[in-house]
Structures are given as C-alpha cells and as structure tokens.
C-alpha cells in the first residue's frame, strides 16, 4: 500500500501519477483523471465512492484551479514545500492509497526542470515540458 513514510520526500517539483505500462514504456496519468474514470465505471464500493467524492470535493475547494487555461500540453506539478507534513500531502497520499485498492500503480515523480511555466500559485505550477524532458 502507498505509505508516505516509506516514500522519499521529493526535492523538486513533483506530482502523484498513475502508471500504465504500455509495452516497454510507462504512461503517466493524472490521479484526478483516474478518480473520474473509476467513479464513472461504478466499480467502487459505496464507502469508497463516498471517500473518493469527499477527497475530490476537498481538492476542488482547497486546490486552486485556473479559470482560463489554454495550454492543453501543460502538466501540473506541486511545489517542493507541499511534500511532507502538509494537509495537501496527506490528502494526496489518502487518494493514492485508495486508488491502489483499485489496482492503480501510484508513484510520485519529481523534476527540477518541469518546463516553461504557464501557471503559478501558492502550491503548484503548470508547465509545458521542454522538448528534451519526458
């Protein structure tokens, strides 16, 4: 199971991702997109659905989402200060743990070079990756 006590604290920008193996390549999916897919599949138990919806509401309320955002290629990254003993970190870990229950491989990826930053707030950035990144 996903245990933040066993996960090294990222030193750069980071994100929680769901890993899908495609041959020899890994594809990283957003945990939030994965939650939507799981909820739409109706494969969850009643309690898990309530927990997922509750976490989803918490993120909607507490994580800024830009109103106008035209950069479809941008990837959202948490800032380094979010890692560790923050409520946001613990909510992400709870979400990751629940996703693993539904056979999702959750990992934390980090980078010091996220790309050209096109959005920036207190806890996160969105960046369009450089051509030589990812």
Note the pLDDT tens digit of each residue in 16-65.
999 988 888 888 899 999 999 999 998 899 999 999 999 999 999 999 87
The pTM is what? 0.86
Q: Please, what's the b/e burial string for 16-55 (b: 16 or more CB within 10 A of its CB; e: otherwise)?
A: bbbeeeeeeeeeeeebbebbeebeeeeebeeeeeeebeeb
Report whether 1 contacts 95 (CB < 8 A).
Answer: no
> Token pair for residue 52?
């997922």
Identify the pLDDT of residue 51. 96
Return the pLDDT at 71. Answer: 62
pLDDT of 24 reads: 87
Q: Residue 114: pLDDT band by 50, 70, 90 thresholds?
A: very high
């Amino acid at each position: 199971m996903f245990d933040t006590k066993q996960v090294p604290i990222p030193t750069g920008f980071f994100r929680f991702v769901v890993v899908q193996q495609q041959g020899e390549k890994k594809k990283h999916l957003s945990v939030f997109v994965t939650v939507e897919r799981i909820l739409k599949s109706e494969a969850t138990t009643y309690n898990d659905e309530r927990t997922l919806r509750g976490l989803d509401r918490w993120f909607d309320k507490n994580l800024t989402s830009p109103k106008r955002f035209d950069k479809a290629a941008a990837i959202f990254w948490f800032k380094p200060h979010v890692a560790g003993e923050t409520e946001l970190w613990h909510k992400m870990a709870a979400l990751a743990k629940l996703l693993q229950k539904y056979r999702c491989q959750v990992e934390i990826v980090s980078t010091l070079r996220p790309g050209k930053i096109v959005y920036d707030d207190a806890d996160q950035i969105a960046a369009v990756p450089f051509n030589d990144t990812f």
